[in-house]
Structure 1
């Protein structure tokens, strides 16, 4: 007999989902049946894909290497090996004088922080020789925490690339290691560290 009232339909649905909860044995049996059905559906889906006929002209002998030989267990079947990146380096004598001058000017401005200098004043002196990105980083520095007070020697290139130079600048307390880059508008310091 068909269920015609909403209360009857709700009662029928409620009895269906409550049936497994009447006893632990029913619950375990229901879980097992659901898992078996899910595994069967999964197996049918994967076996259906692997037994699908291949398109004409498609290689059905398995994965192969880029030269057409069958791939073995030890060879990659997806991508060829990647050539390692070797950045272009130039001799130290090829360091642009403009990059060394920017490093020297930046270091002189970096150590120039008399008592009472605000961060804004210090940054204004560094701005002409600093990238905008690095100025944002330096904005969190208190000039009073800068350990050096004078530059004690000329800048010296330690690594040279076409668009960047790593420069060492000695001060009275530490040696600055500066990364000077050509940002299109001139040579600017993009990073600094202690050496």
Structure 2
């Protein structure tokens, strides 16, 4: 798949994103300037694609513009409905509540939940979750992907241990599948550096070779 096809399949441009949130482009610009909504996951210009997660990567396709996940329009709606000056706080409150509920349901201690939520908020607002999370419209979707990734990294030593202690092969395979479903496929520009390649595709090859 080309980068252009990938972006067209999973993302929308800035005017379309504003339309999905039922706000003007000027209002979206104001919310972005206030860091009250997730930033564009990708920005393309002058032969380069940029993201908070992967930095700058040279591309050969003539793509220009900012690209947002349409699912994230929910956060722009929440921000737009908040009182003036409280847009970021409104989004943060909803997001943190949803993250906390899902992480608690996974069995994390209260202190671990609080630390995890605090660590996730910056990645939410810089647009990272739009490119790596399959369901970024809710805190639950974000927390699920992050929890599964943390668990898989710990169990497999970042995709290198195919027989971790304390887990059956069938359970390990299900964990990989669950993580694959919770994560994005990643674009051709950064796939080789992605957690999906390391923890899903490459790791499945390792498991099959055992």
TM exceeding 0.5:
no
Q: Select the structure that is richer in strand.
A: 1
Q: Which structure's residues are more often helix, by fraction?
A: 2
| Greater radius of gyration (CA) | 1
TM class, shorter-chain normalised?
Answer: under 0.3
TM-score by length of 1: 0.23
